[in-house]
């Protein structure tokens, strides 16, 4: 079962408002709150997982680079030189 992204009421309302604003400005269409909410739900269900996965991948690459940097600061001791 896929875990759905949960939005706070305030964030959801803000995103719905942004969708309405976009459609009004860019497409000269007036969308109601219900239609905008359905579009938001579609984005969350179908598109958000791709963005999430990209964020996870970017974080992995970043952390992997930092770990390699950390290993570079190791000091050689007399024990390791033998």
Burial 53-64, CB ≥16 within 10 A → b, else e: eeeeeeeeeeee
Structure-token pair, residue 1? 């079962």
Between CA 63 and CA 69 the distance in angstroms is 10
pLDDT score of 1: 44
Query: Per-domain residue ranges for the chain?
Result: 9-72
Which pTM was predicted?
A: 0.70
Phi and psi for 29 in degrees, rounded to 5? -125, 140
Tell me: pLDDT of 17 over 70.
yes
What are the pLDDT digits (tens) for 26-54? 999 999 999 999 999 999 999 999 999 99
Residue 12 Cα distances to 33, 41, 73, angstroms: 11, 10, 46
């Amino acid at each position: 079962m896929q875990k759905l992204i949960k939005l706070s009421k305030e964030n959801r309302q803000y995103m719905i408002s942004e969708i309405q604003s976009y459609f009004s400005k860019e497409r000269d269409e007036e969308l109601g709150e219900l239609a905008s909410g359905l579009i938001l739900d579609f984005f969350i269900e179908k598109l958000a997982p791709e963005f999430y996965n990209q964020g996870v991948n970017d974080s992995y690459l970043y952390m992997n680079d930092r770990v390699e940097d950390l290993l570079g600061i190791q000091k050689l001791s007399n024990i390791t030189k033998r």
